[in-house]
Amino acid sequence: MNRTYEKLQEYLDRNQALNTALILLDWDTATLAPKAATEQTARMVGILSEEQFNSIINDEVRELMHQLKEPNEWNQLTDVQKAVIKELEREYEQLEKIPVKEYKAYAELAAKSVTIWEDAKTNNDYKKFVPVLEQIIAYKKKFASYRKKKGQALYDVLLQDYERDFNMEKLDEFFEKIKTELVPFIKEVIHHSKDIDKSYNYLAYDPTKQKEFCEFLAGYIGFDFNKGVIAESAHPFTTNLHNKDVRITNHFYKNNLESAMFSVIHEGGHAIYEMNIGDDITQTLVGGGASMGVHESQSRFYENIVGRNKAFWEPIYAKLQRTYPDQLNDITLDHFMKGINLARLSLIRTEADELTYPLHILVRYEMEKMIFSQEVDVHQLNQIWNQKYKEYLGVTPPTDTAGILQDVHWAMGDFGYFSSYAVGSAIGAQLYEYMKKVMPFEEYLREGKMDQISGFLKAHIHQYGMRKTANELLKDTTGEEFNADYYINYLKEKYTELYLQ
């Protein structure tokens, strides 16, 4: 190994080890840790975050990076090492302008805020969450202002943390298309599907059986239980320590069959991505998913394009019926397909159907844009939320629990993340349109050959981790950069076939 890189490796190792510890603490707080622990544990998270910051933001690392960019050194490096240094430069640039004490204080705040949000959500008490949210927004604004390039908008700084290839200009264009193309189409679909009976979905479904069936589903799509575990948490999520330790969570509602099933397929999609990342890059700076948009493209690809596809259910729907004979024996597969795809204007993002989903994202995108381009009174955000739901979805949340408190993201400081879900859905559709050209996609699903699907995604997307951006992955795979038209067309075609013919 190049001697200079070897020296850098020690810093990278420390950074990686501290990162592993912080991820595990985060996972543990969300899934298991006792309630009274939060405050004291958060202090430790603050200290470890400071350590992690210092592990790479220091003069030695800056000097080593500089040396390694000299041609005589650079030419000795492997491709992975080059990618790691580029990512390190990017992270360095993101962090170096933030004072370490503020970074630490923010990390400590973030480690406590999820518990406070949970409490507020449980008790429908937005007021209790306001002081924390105010602090988080203030930190995010301050950090973005340290980091922004000349003339750059604060919100663009945040957006690009999750998706390098995007900014407000591109997203405005994307959401404009959704508004003009999809909103009228949604109305038509809803009108024509209003008589479909989905009451079967809300019968009683034994949570233990749900859990078992969801484990089956995870394994069926390719989740490797030797390298991963499934736990429970209020809000399903995926995390990983490396490519052989990938964790997802799920939740079970007795009176909702779909919720847990599509959650496990969604998180399973994230997990398969992380499990397929190459051994040569896991536990390095480029060993995660390419971006949040690409990550969500995989989870929403599995959830919707695979999981809400008739061909996917053909070989396994009988098994689902056998699991719940009383509830499903009279429900045909065609009826079930119309049920799991049914579009409805609703309150909760994570329970939304594929078609109206981007409208939920639109609300959050517009709110975030507003928060980061003007002074907002955080006390009023719940009302603004409700007005936007009324405007775009025609429904008004009866409580803040079903409104602004429904998602964990802002409590975690993840502003700029939400748009990734819509972008991800669009990337997924673009990949799907290409895959159908090069493989018998639905035939593979019908034959249960899930490894053909995951094999393609591994070869073209997963294995590269962060070594390619979203647009590079799309270009190299499909020959074309991001193009939202595929998404619009995919939705129109699918929903026309299901409900308008």
Binding site for a copy of itself (CB under 8 A): 13-14, 16-18, 20-21, 24-25, 28, 32-37, 39-41, 43-44, 47-48, 51, 224-229, 231, 241-246, 282-283
And the tokens for 198? 């989905």
And the tokens for 353? 């159907």
Query: Which residue, 249 or 291, has its beta carbon nearer to a copy of itself?
Result: 249
What's the distance, Cα to Cα, between the start and end of the chain in Å?
A: 63
| The dihedral sign for the CA sequence 271, 275, 278, 282 | positive
How far is residue 111's CA from residue 44's CA, in Å, rounded to a whole number? 10
Amino acid at 245: D
Bridge partners of 232, per DSSP, are: 250
Residue 74: how many other CB atoms lie within 10 Å: 14
Burial 22-43 (b: 16+ CB within 10 A, else e): bbebbbebbeeeeeeebeebbe
CB of 76 to a copy of itself, least distance (A): 24
CB of 135 to a copy of itself, least distance (A): 22
CB of 294 to a copy of itself, least distance (A): 23
* Token pair 């004979």: residue: 325
CB of 232 to a copy of itself, least distance (A): 12
As a three-state string, the secondary structure of 355-422 is CCHHHHHHHHHHHHHHHHHCCCCHHHHHHHHHHHHHHHHCCCCCCCCCCCCCCCHHHHCCCCCCHHHH
Query: Which residue, 43 or 390, has its beta carbon nearer to a copy of itself?
Result: 43
Query: Which residue, 234 or 370, has its beta carbon nearer to a copy of itself?
Result: 234
CB of 360 to a copy of itself, least distance (A): 32
Who contacts 422 (Cβ-Cβ below 8 Å, separation ≥6)? 174, 175, 178, 357, 358, 361, 362, 365
Query: Which residue, 40 or 374, has its beta carbon nearer to a copy of itself?
Result: 40
Backbone angles phi, psi at 493, to 5 degrees: -65, -50
Amino acid at 159: L
Query: Which residue, 282 or 382, has its beta carbon nearer to a copy of itself?
Result: 282
DSSP string, 122-163: HTT-HHHHHHHHHHHHHHHHHHHHHHPPTT--HHHHHHHHH-
Residues identified as active-site: 267
Query: Which residue, 40 or 199, has its beta carbon nearer to a copy of itself?
Result: 40
Backbone angles phi, psi at 234, to 5 degrees: -60, -40
How far is residue 47's CA from residue 100's CA, in Å, rounded to a whole number? 11
Query: Which residue, 42 or 426, has its beta carbon nearer to a copy of itself?
Result: 42
What's the gap between Cα 265 and its chain centre? Answer: 13
How far is residue 433's CA from residue 280's CA, in Å, rounded to a whole number? 30
How far is residue 236's CA from residue 233's CA, in Å, rounded to a whole number? 6
Query: Which residue, 231 or 318, has its beta carbon nearer to a copy of itself?
Result: 231
CB of 372 to a copy of itself, least distance (A): 32
CB of 499 to a copy of itself, least distance (A): 41
CB of 14 to a copy of itself, least distance (A): 6
